[in-house]
Structure 1
Amino acid sequence: MKKATTAGELVEQLIEVGRTAVERGFVLASGGNLSARLPGASEFVVTASGTWLDRLVPEDFTTMTVDGEIVGGNPDPSSEWKLHQRSYRVRDDVNAVIHMHPQHTVLVDALGHPIRLFTLDHAVYVKSVGRTGYYPNGSDELADTAAEQARVHNCVIMGNHGCSALGEDIGMAFRRAMNLEEAATATFRALSLGDTTTEFPEEAWKSLHHA
C-alpha cells in the first residue's frame, strides 16, 4: 500500500482496510473504527458513527482537528473519535490508527495471558504490546489511558473490548494490527498445547533491536 498524498487517497485506503478487516474476521458489523491523516497535518479523517467497515463510502468519513473539532464530512463521527484524536496528540509520528475487535487478541488478554511474539514479523512490527483495563466505549478514560500506552507502544489492547494499532501510514498500522492478531492466535494455540514460555529468541531480539 503506497503512502497517501491526499485526503481522498487516505479515504480510499481506509475503505480498502475496512473491507479486508471484515473479510478476515477482525471485526463484525459496525464494530471498529479507522482514521488517518497526512504527515504533519492538524486534521484527520475518521469513520462515522454506525458505519460497517466493509461497506464504507467516502460519505462515511468525518474530518476533525486534533483538538477534537468537526470541520467537514459526515457530521456524526465514530463514538470512539477521542481514542484516535488523543493518540494523534501524543504521537506526532503517527498518521493512522486502526481500531478493531479481533477475537484472539481480546480473548487471550481477557484470560489474563500476555500475547507472546513468536516470529520475526511479530518482533519487528508489533515489537511490544500495551494494554488498558476495561473502560466504557467512547469514554475519556478509554481514550486517555490508551493514548498514554500509545506513547511507548504501537499496539494497544483495551481490556474486554478491542485493540488499536498505530503507524506512520495506513499500511503500517494495518500490518501491525494483523501481526498482533496473528501473535494472539499463535499464543492461544501454544496455550492449548500447554506451552506458556515459548517466544521469539532473546538473543535474536537483542540483535534485532540493538539492545
Structure 2
Amino acid sequence: MTNPPNTTDAVQQLIRAGAEIVQSGLALASAGNLSIRLSADRFVVTASGTWLNRLDTSSFSVMDLDGNVVDGAPKPSSEWKLHQRAYQARADIGSVVHVHPAHALLLDALQRPIRLVTLDHAYYVGSIGRTPYYPNGSDELANTAAAELHTHNCVVMGNHGSTTVGDDCDMALRRALNLENAAELTYRAILAGNGDIDFPWDAEPHLHHA
C-alpha cells in the first residue's frame, strides 16, 4: 500500500473514480461502491444509496475495521462489510472498487471463463477469483470475496458484481476496467467461434498467472 491519503484527498479521488466508472459503463445509477484506506484501521467508503456519478463530499462514511462509523454520513454502503473484510484480509490493499460489469457477469452466469487476451489484461488482472451468489451485504458475500482476495486482485461475485483491489484507487479502478475489457473481448471471441483464446504466458513468464 502506498502512503494513505488524508480524508479530503481520498474523497476527491473517489469522486473522480465514481464518475469514470459510470462513464465507462461499469455501474448504473447507485450500483457499486468504492473505498480508500485512510490508516491501518480506518477507511472511507461511499454512503448508502449514492450514485457513483453524483458523488460529493457528503457522500461518504468513515469507518473503522470493527465496523463502526466514526465520521461522515451515518449510513455507509450496504456492502461496507465487503470493504472491511478486504482490508482485514490484506494489509497491502489501499483501495477497493466494487462494480457491476455486464460482460464479466454474463460470462460467469454462462459458466464461461474470462480469457486474458492483452498484455494489460495479463499485467493488471493476472488471475481472477470467483464466489457463488450470496445476498447483498451478507457476511457470506464479504467473507468469501475476502478469501479469494488472498490470492487474486480481481474477484467476480456470481450474479452480482466484481471486486478489484489495489495499493491505491487508480490501480483498483484500472483492474476493474481491464477485467471488464477482458470479459468483453472473450464474449466477442465466443461469438466469432473461438472462446479459448488466451494470453501467451510463456512469452512473459514473469507475469503472475493462476
Hey, what does 1:26 align to over in structure 2?
26
Equivalent runs, 1:15-94 vs 2, <5 Å: 15-38=15-38, 40-94=39-93
Count of residue pairs the alignment pairs up: 209
Length-normalised TM-score, structure 1: 0.95
Displacement after TM superposition at 1:207 (Å): 4.0
Deviations 1:58-105 (A, max 9, x none): 111000011211111000000000000000000100010000001111
Equivalent runs, 1:161-180 vs 2, <5 Å: 161-180=160-179
Hey, what does 1:10 align to over in structure 2?
10
For 1:210 and 1:12, locate their aligned partners in 2 and report how far apart those are by CA, in whole Å: 33
The letter of the residue matching 2:57 is P
For 1:118 and 1:204, locate their aligned partners in 2 and report how far apart those are by CA, in whole Å: 13
For 1:205 and 1:53, locate their aligned partners in 2 and report how far apart those are by CA, in whole Å: 36
Percent identical residues: 56
Deviations 1:164-186 (A, max 9, x none): 11000001000000000000001
DSSP-derived class of the 1:29 partner:
coil
Deviations 1:99-139 (A, max 9, x none): 00011111111110111101111001000000100000000
The letter of the residue matching 1:13 is Q
Instruction: Return 5+ residue gaps in structure 2 as ranges.
Output: none
Query: Residue 210 and residue 13 in structure 1: after superposition, are their counterparts in 2 closer, same or farther (change >3 A)?
Result: closer
DSSP-derived class of the 1:151 partner:
coil
Instruction: Return 5+ residue gaps in structure 1 as ranges.
Output: none
Hey, what does 1:97 align to over in structure 2?
96
Displacement after TM superposition at 1:4 (Å): 6.2
For 1:63 and 1:154, locate their aligned partners in 2 and report how far apart those are by CA, in whole Å: 23
For 1:179 and 1:135, locate their aligned partners in 2 and report how far apart those are by CA, in whole Å: 24
Range 198-207 or range 160-169, more displaced = 198-207
8 Å Cα contact 1:44-1:64 kept in structure 2: yes
Hey, what does 2:126 align to over in structure 1?
127
DSSP-derived class of the 2:58 partner:
helix
The letter of the residue matching 2:197 is T
